[in-house]
């Protein structure tokens, strides 16, 4: 499967710069991802290439005019008849790992970036654009949001990440955060890497990581994972595992504030 992202933006260089390198840059070179940039200024007829105007009814900020954005959308559709339009907007549904995975099933997307005061609402109405927000705050423009979508969706495209299972283990996969990672040296500033990771026993390491993952999720993001979802037996095992961790490992893994009693659910 190949992804095709088209970005409607007044600042194409912002997107091009970000995705000339790194994981997405490599995937573009491998032909796994196509990225097209469409500047609404292409579709203006006046000498100043005007793409925005003052809001009717008064107020601050300039509003993106519907017509150049509409023309830009027509170009996107001409380039890919199956593309779907997303308007990056603080008012949209909030991006989550689940939504990223949903979008990655059909990664033929046109991302419309607003600027200044936003865009004329009639454009959203006429195009039926899906509104997506990257969080409850206001950005100066949609480019950073578009970049977040391109980056997160691309990671789900087969072949984009080096190892087939890289995205499977990462945080949020299976509703859990990833277990903390360590690399050389084995000792650093008086802290040593948890013994288990040195054991060379891959099955045991996998099991250790799974328990740590559950504990870390309970400690950092209790909203993501509920103890009640574990069977009574699993909860007992989890408690035993937690009690078996050394004091240093508990600190290192950020679990020092968890109490065994909390693990009884």
Residues that bind ligand SAM (CB under 6 A): 88-91, 113-115, 117-119, 133-135, 137-142, 145
| Strand, coil or helix: 163 | coil
Shortest spacing between CB 246 and ligand SAM, in angstroms: 42
Q: Can you tell me the distance from the alpha carbon of 146 to that of 226, in angstroms, rounded to the nearest whole number?
A: 32
Shortest spacing between CB 118 and ligand SAM, in angstroms: 4
Q: What is the CA radius of gyration of the chain?
A: 24
Q: Which is nearer to ligand SAM, 87 or 211 (CB)?
A: 87
Q: Look up residue 126 and give its two tokens.
A: 């006429």
Element (H, E) at 243: helix 232-244
Tell me which residue has its CB nearest to ligand SAM. Answer: 114
Judge whether 217 and 177 are in contact, CB under 8 Å.
yes
Shortest spacing between CB 85 and ligand SAM, in angstroms: 13
Shortest spacing between CB 223 and ligand SAM, in angstroms: 20
Q: Is the peptide bond before 19 cis (omega within 30 degrees of 0)?
A: no
Q: Which is nearer to ligand SAM, 134 or 253 (CB)?
A: 134
Q: Which is nearer to ligand SAM, 91 or 248 (CB)?
A: 91
Q: Which is nearer to ligand SAM, 139 or 160 (CB)?
A: 139
Determine the straight-line distance between the first and last CA of the chain, rounded to whole angstroms. 42
């Amino acid at each position: 499967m190949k992804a095709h992202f088209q970005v409607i933006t007044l600042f194409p260089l912002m997107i091009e710069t970000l995705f000339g390198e790194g994981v997405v840059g490599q995937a573009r070179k491998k032909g796994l991802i196509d990225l097209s940039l469409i500047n609404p200024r292409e579709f203006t007829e006046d000498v100043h290439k005007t793409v925005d105007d003052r809001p009717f009814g008064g107020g601050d900020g300039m509003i993106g005019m519907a017509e150049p954005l509409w023309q830009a959308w027509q170009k996107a559709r001409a380039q890919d008849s199956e593309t779907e339009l997303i308007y990056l907007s603080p008012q949209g549904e909030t991006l989550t790992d689940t939504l990223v995975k949903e979008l990655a099933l059909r990664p033929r997307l046109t991302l419309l970036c607003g600027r200044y005061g936003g865009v004329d609402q009639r454009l959203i109405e006429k195009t039926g654009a899906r509104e997506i927000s990257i969080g409850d705050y206001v950005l100066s423009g949609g480019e950073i949001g578009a970049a977040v979508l391109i980056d997160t969706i691309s990671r789900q495209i087969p072949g984009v990440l080096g190892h087939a299972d890289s995205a499977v283990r990462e945080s949020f996969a299976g509703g859990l955060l990833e277990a903390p990672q360590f690399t050389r040296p084995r000792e650093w500033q008086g802290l040593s890497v948890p013994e288990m990771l040195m054991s060379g026993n891959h099955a045991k390491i996998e099991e250790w990581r799974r328990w740590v993952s559950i504990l870390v999720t309970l400690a950092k993001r209790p909203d993501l994972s509920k103890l009640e979802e574990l069977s009574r037996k699993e909860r007992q095992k989890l408690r035993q595992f937690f009690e078996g961790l050394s004091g240093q490992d508990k600190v290192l893994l950020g679990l020092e504030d968890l109490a065994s009693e909390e693990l009884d659910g």
